[in-house]
Amino acid sequence: SINNKIALVTGSTSGIGLGIAQRLAAQGCHIMLNGFGSDAQIAQARSSIEAFGVKSGFHGADLSKPAEIEALMKATEGQLGPVDILVNNAGIQHVSPVEHFEVAKWDAVIAINLTAAFHTTRLALPSMKARNWGRIVNIASAHGLVASANKSAYVAAKHGIVGLTKVVALETAQTGVTCNAVCPGWVLTPLVQAQVDARAQHEGVSVDQAKINLLSEKQPSHEFVTPEQLGGLVVFLCSDDAAQVRGAAWNMDGGWVAQ
Ligand code: NAD
């Protein structure tokens, strides 16, 4: 059981990260939250965790900065204890053809969506290995398995994190630590709402029509995946039954990559 385990979920002030954090809290995990947001948003996120009768912590590390990631890991250990479950979820998107892609945006997407997971993993692993138990779950994307135009940095970072997942899984294969990736399709979070809004404007259609257009292009179910469903998959990957699931890139995408 994962009751009483310490879980760090990066980028958990909103969207998928918050949904995963809540599902882990429902299983009795104490949760370290991270991400950006107003004081009110962070207080609300923490109380939604503590409603499950577990402890919460918060650290606002900017994951594009390695020194802040080190501070996040120290704060987690100080406030809650060493990390048992690490969910690398924080991520950003930027959409542009490659020849016009802003260099600073490329660097930011790679830093937050890929390099941050290298840092949290290298810092969390020694203690996981010493205790011979740990779960690392990287939130990749359908874009970790297949590409779309205009998302060069995102697709590169997400393919990269699937690769990192496999390497860490091999390096921990004979321990009680596992490392897996989850590959969601479209989930209606602020990150995707921005793409829906851009689409509505660009195509001159309503926001509802833009949602349908967005889904029907890639996601055969024509339905969004939810943060709660992804939380359920992460809970499974953290369970004893998943002890031999190692190095998987598990899609939950309404059929996106089956095509
Ligand atoms: P979101 O924008 O709702 O949430 C992103 C979270 O990351 C927020 O808590 C934000 O504050 C945090 N964050 C952003 N930059 C950060 C930084 N520099 N340092 C620390 N925290 C930072 O996005 P989401 O849709 O919930 O995305 C979560 C993850 O799921 C991302 O890795 C994303 O690529 C992935 N994903 C999302 C979808 C989707 O359809 N929404 C699909 C596949 C994969």
- Residue 100 Cα to ligand 1 midpoint, Å, equals 23
One-character DSSP codes across 171-198:
HTTTSSEEEEEEEE--B-SHHHHHHHHH
pLDDT over 90 percentage in the chain: 99
- Mean pLDDT throughout 221-250? 98
- Residue 92 Cα to ligand 1 midpoint, Å, equals 5
Token readout for 241 is: 């039954």
Report residue 21: phi and psi, to 5°.
-60, -40
Atom number in ligand 1 closest to CA 10: 21
- Residue 174 Cα to ligand 1 midpoint, Å, equals 31
Token readout for 224 is: 């969004």
> Mind listing the domains of the chain with CATH numbers?
6-185+226-254 (3.40.50.720), 187-224 (no CATH)
Q: Are 22 and 226 in contact (CB under 8 A)?
A: no
Check whether 215 has a pLDDT greater than 90: yes
- Residue 138 Cα to ligand 1 midpoint, Å, equals 12
* Of the candidates 177, 185, 186, the residue with the CA atom closest to the CA atom of residue 247: 177
- Mean pLDDT throughout 229-240? 98
Average pLDDT of the chain to the nearest whole number: 97
Check whether 196 has a pLDDT greater than 90: yes
- Residue 65 Cα to ligand 1 midpoint, Å, equals 16
CA dihedral sign of residues 230, 126, 64, 151: negative
Check whether 191 has a pLDDT greater than 90: no
Catalytic residues: 154
- Mean pLDDT throughout 49-53? 98
- Residue 124 — very low, low, confident or very high, per pLDDT cuts 50/70/90? very high
The pLDDT of residue 189 is 93
30-34 and 56-59 beta bridge pairing: parallel
Atom number in ligand 1 closest to CA 112: 18
Burial class (CB in 10 A: 0-12, 13-18, 19+), 132: exposed
ipTM: 0.99
Atom number in ligand 1 closest to CA 36: 11
DSSP 8-class letter at 76: H
- Residue 28 — very low, low, confident or very high, per pLDDT cuts 50/70/90? very high
In a mutational test of the pocket of ligand 1, which residue from 14, 16, 183 has the highest number of ligand atoms less than 8 Å from its CB?
A: 16
Residue 30 CB: number of other CB atoms within 10 A? 25
Alpha carbons 189 and 151: distance in angstroms, whole number: 18
- Mean pLDDT throughout 161-177? 99
- Residue 222 — very low, low, confident or very high, per pLDDT cuts 50/70/90? very high
In a mutational test of the pocket of ligand 1, which residue from 191, 192, 195 has the highest number of ligand atoms less than 8 Å from its CB?
A: 191
For ligand 1, which residues put their CB under 6 angstroms from it?
11-17, 34-37, 62-64, 89-92, 112-113, 139, 141, 184, 186-187, 189-192
- Mean pLDDT throughout 14-38? 98
Check whether 107 has a pLDDT greater than 90: yes
- Residue 53 — very low, low, confident or very high, per pLDDT cuts 50/70/90? very high
